[in-house]
Amino acid sequence: MSKADIGLASPRTQVAHPASPKPGKAGREQRNLAGWLFALPWTVIFLVFMAFPIIVSLLLSFTDFGLANLQDPFSLHFIGIENYVKLVHDQVFLLAALNTLIVVVVGVPLNVILSLLVAIGLNRGVNYVRTIFRIGYYLPVVTSIVAIAVVWRFLLDPDTGLVNNLLHMIGITGPNWLGSITLALPSIIFVVVWHNIGSAMIIFLAGLQGIDPSLYEAAEMDGAGKFALFRNITLPMLRPTMLFVTVITSIGFLQVFQEPFVLTQGGPLNRTLTVGIYLYQQGFNFFNQGYASAMAYILFVAIVILAFVQFRLLRPQT
Amino acid sequence: MSQTELPEQLVATTPIELDKPVPQAKTAASNAWWIYILLTLGLVVMVFPFIWMILSSLKGAAELSQIPPTWFPLAPTLENYNKLFNQLDFPVYFMNSAILGISITVLNLIFCSMLGYALAKLRFRGKNMLFGLVLATIMIPASVTLVPLFVLMSKIGLVNNLAAVILPEAAGGLGVFLMRQFMLGIPDELLDAGRVDGAGEFFLFWRVVVPLCGPALATLTIIQFLASWNDFLLPLIMLNNDQSYNLPIALATFAVGPHVSDNGLLLAGAVVVVMPILIIFFLLQRYFTQGIVMTGLKG
């Protein structure tokens, strides 16, 4: 079966199929009914547990919903955009937003470049042991981030941690990685990227294998060097894959939560506090749930804008 | 998300053979030794923490705080595991994780393949809009639904009940996408023949389409079970009573709270969280990576 048959474009191709018994009006209605019956369970859950909360969340972000309202939800007060105004002046939120931005701006390119390099290396250099390498690099992806964070917290311990003891062997006194205001956030980014390289790598491997080898053969016959091949064939052909990886990595990194939650709880001095953690603290430690909802919506909008910008910048040029 | 801009290979439903030798490799430097060295160094960084986690979970408290640290346990002991299972409630957390994993996975298999069938094989009003919603769910951050979900669950008295996590996660967008893509590859003629013979849609779905969806169902089972087993954010909000924790919540709670410096206990806990997934992963790793390729989404 060709890719065109099974790709996303198929709703159109499907319409063109010589379709099933020609429905009359009654048949069409029956078909409508069948379609909606199959769609019903998923749609009900979607409406109740996703669509409804998303709308309520927007409404709550304009209220002072707090702990008391858990007993009596309707005693809340609409306070307009006060939560949003307060957020813009909240130094802790601004720091959390900055930290989150740093995780995205530093972490996403790092993640994309490293996983692309690993994928290219695996695709070219290593044929026989490729499976072993692939499993190894993919291993962190399948494991619980909490478990991973526990292990890294131990590895990065300034005294008993293995990292500093290895550094000590080559004569360097290692820093207090997670306790230092300058190094804590980079350490978090390292663990986040370490955890995510594998999934991007797999997508890149699939993308690389989708490139028609005859393109390379033709270019080589014309005397193109390795770098020219990479620049003029591999990169342009990988553009859609790159877009996809960048978008989903950014969406994930903007919501970074578990790594700082276990590794540093946002410290030292809020230097690893992310929007995700601050939102959790405000909403579920202090029960300022209107405030937390406003934060969640800012995060939501940031994700949509970022994805949109990336689509514009990276979309395939035709 | 515009449909045409998704890379083609990400939505392919035929297995992509990641292991097959690549023709391109012939022309490139197949044996460049430095590539091996760099990749191997990277591999060590990726895998070593796991090996070290397992080895260290077998060390006693004194050995764990020793400087410099030992590589292999000098006196291997199971005391950390003993403590986990006999003094703490890890069997309960393990059961909770298993219940969450199994029920969320089964519900997704049912609901997602039903909607997938409707989207791939039936025509009805609102279909395109529904598919748009399915794709949109992939971009919506969980945090946007957390507060209202918590209020809703506390109103209906489900906080600290596993159902508060199971219900919202019973019908994901990812599973629908996967099932729809796979079902598009099943020929319409097969179903039309059945319709001519008077078979109902439910019969066609259950007896014709579902049996043909083995690979997609297997992939969805693995991805979903993995995600639910490792699930953190929603359980953290909903499961506050220590009898309702799942494994990641229990581990995180101990790690930032009462057992913050009991490294041996925490490492053994990490092993207990990770081990079932590692075993499944090693047995079925082909499905894992295929699933990621099929959906383009992370586990």
Give me the residue from A137, A148, A316 closest to B5, CB to CB: A316
Tens digits of residue pLDDT in A242-270: 988 998 899 999 999 999 999 999 889 99
Amino acid at B147: V
pLDDT > 90: what percent of chain B?
Answer: 47
Backbone angles phi, psi at A78, to 5 degrees: -80, 130
Cα A97 to Cα A88: distance, rounded to the nearest angstrom: 10
Question: Which of B21 and B170 is assigned the larger pLDDT?
Answer: B170
Cα B228 to Cα B221: distance, rounded to the nearest angstrom: 10
Q: Locate the chain B residue with the closest alpha carbon to A279.
A: B143
Q: Which residues of A touch B8 (CB under 8 A)?
A: 3, 7, 210, 240
Give me the residue from A38, A137, A147 closest to B114, CB to CB: A38
Q: Pull the structure tokens for residue A66.
A: 């707090």
- The total number of residues shown for chain A amounts to 318
Q: Are B171 and B112 a contacting pair, CB within 8 Å? A: yes
Tens digits of residue pLDDT in A133-146: 888 999 999 999 99
Residue A17 belongs to what H/E stretch? none
Q: Are A205 and A219 a contacting pair, CB within 8 Å? A: no
Q: Which residues of B touch A136 (CB under 8 A)?
A: 43, 46-47
Backbone angles phi, psi at A99, to 5 degrees: -60, -45
Cα B42 to Cα B34: distance, rounded to the nearest angstrom: 12
pLDDT > 70: what percent of chain A?
Answer: 89
pLDDT > 90: what percent of chain A?
Answer: 51
Residue B155 belongs to what H/E stretch? helix B143-155
pLDDT at B291: 65
Q: Pull the structure tokens for residue B168.
A: 């919202």
Peptide bond into A268 cis (omega under 30): yes
Which are the contacts of A114, defined by CB distance < 8 A and separation ≥ 6? Answer: A193, A197
Question: Which of A313 and A318 is assigned the larger pLDDT?
Answer: A313
- The total number of residues shown for chain B amounts to 299
Cα A50 to Cα B237: distance, rounded to the nearest angstrom: 16
Tens digits of residue pLDDT in B98-118: 999 999 999 999 999 999 999
Question: Which of A317 and A11 is assigned the larger pLDDT?
Answer: A317
Q: Is the dihedral of CA B234, B238, B244, B245 positive or negative?
A: positive
Contact A125 B29 (CB under 8 A): yes
- Band (pLDDT 50/70/90 cuts) for residue B7 is very low
In the DSSP assignment, the letter for residue A63 is B
* Residue A274: half-sphere exposure toward Cβ, Cα within 13 Å: 28
- Band (pLDDT 50/70/90 cuts) for residue A222 is confident
pLDDT at B60: 87
Helix, strand, coil percent values for chain B (each to nearest 5): 70, 0, 30
Please determine, for residue A312, whether its predicted confidence score (pLDDT) is greater than 90.
no
pLDDT at B94: 94
Contact A41 B25 (CB under 8 A): no
Q: Are B270 and B259 a contacting pair, CB within 8 Å? A: no
- Band (pLDDT 50/70/90 cuts) for residue A171 is confident
Contact A125 B69 (CB under 8 A): no
Residue A146 belongs to what H/E stretch? helix A145-155
Cα A8 to Cα A10: distance, rounded to the nearest angstrom: 5
pLDDT at A20: 47
Question: Which of B33 and B95 is assigned the larger pLDDT?
Answer: B95
Q: Pull the structure tokens for residue A232.
A: 């003029």
Please determine, for residue B264, whether its predicted confidence score (pLDDT) is greater than 60.
yes
In the DSSP assignment, the letter for residue B70 is P
Contact A38 B251 (CB under 8 A): no
Q: Pull the structure tokens for residue B68.
A: 């410099």
pLDDT at A97: 96
Please determine, for residue B246, whether its predicted confidence score (pLDDT) is greater than 90.
yes
pLDDT at A318: 53
pLDDT at B229: 94
- A312: β partners: none
Question: Which of A31 and A197 is assigned the larger pLDDT?
Answer: A197
Cα angle B240-A272-A93, degrees, rounded to a multiple of 5 = 80
Q: What is the pTM of this model?
A: 0.86
A258 interfacial to chain B (CB closer than 8 Å): yes
Question: Which of A46 and A216 is assigned the larger pLDDT?
Answer: A46
- A63: β partners: A78
Cα A215 to Cα B8: distance, rounded to the nearest angstrom: 18
Mean pLDDT of the region B128-140: 89
Question: Which of A20 and B250 is assigned the larger pLDDT?
Answer: B250
- Mean residue pLDDT of chain A comes to 85
Please determine, for residue A54, whether its predicted confidence score (pLDDT) is greater than 90.
yes
pLDDT at B2: 35
SS3 B6: coil
- Band (pLDDT 50/70/90 cuts) for residue B25 is very low
pLDDT at A307: 86
- Band (pLDDT 50/70/90 cuts) for residue A18 is very low
Q: Which residues of A touch B191 (CB under 8 A)?
A: 20
Contacting A residues, span 61-120, partner chain B, CB-CB under 8 Å: 65, 69-70, 73, 118
Q: Which residues of A touch B183 (CB under 8 A)?
A: none
- Mean residue pLDDT of chain B comes to 84
Q: Pull the structure tokens for residue B229.
A: 């087993």
B157: left (phi over 0), alpha (psi -120 to 50) or beta: left
pLDDT at B138: 78
Q: Locate the chain A residue with the closest alpha carbon to B154.
A: A70
Tens digits of residue pLDDT in B181-192: 889 988 998 898
Mean pLDDT of the region A275-279: 95
Please determine, for residue B50, whether its predicted confidence score (pLDDT) is greater than 90.
yes
Least-confidence region, from A63-77, A164-178, B107-121? A63-77
Q: Pull the structure tokens for residue A61.
A: 């972000």
Tens digits of residue pLDDT in A68-124: 887 777 788 889 899 999 999 999 999 999 999 999 999 999 999 999 999 988 887
Please determine, for residue A29, whether its predicted confidence score (pLDDT) is greater than 90.
no
Q: How large is the ipTM? A: 0.84
Q: Are B284 and A236 a contacting pair, CB within 8 Å? A: no
Q: What is the CA radius of gyration of chain A?
A: 25
In the DSSP assignment, the letter for residue B16 is P
Q: Locate the chain B residue with the closest alpha carbon to A167.
A: B68
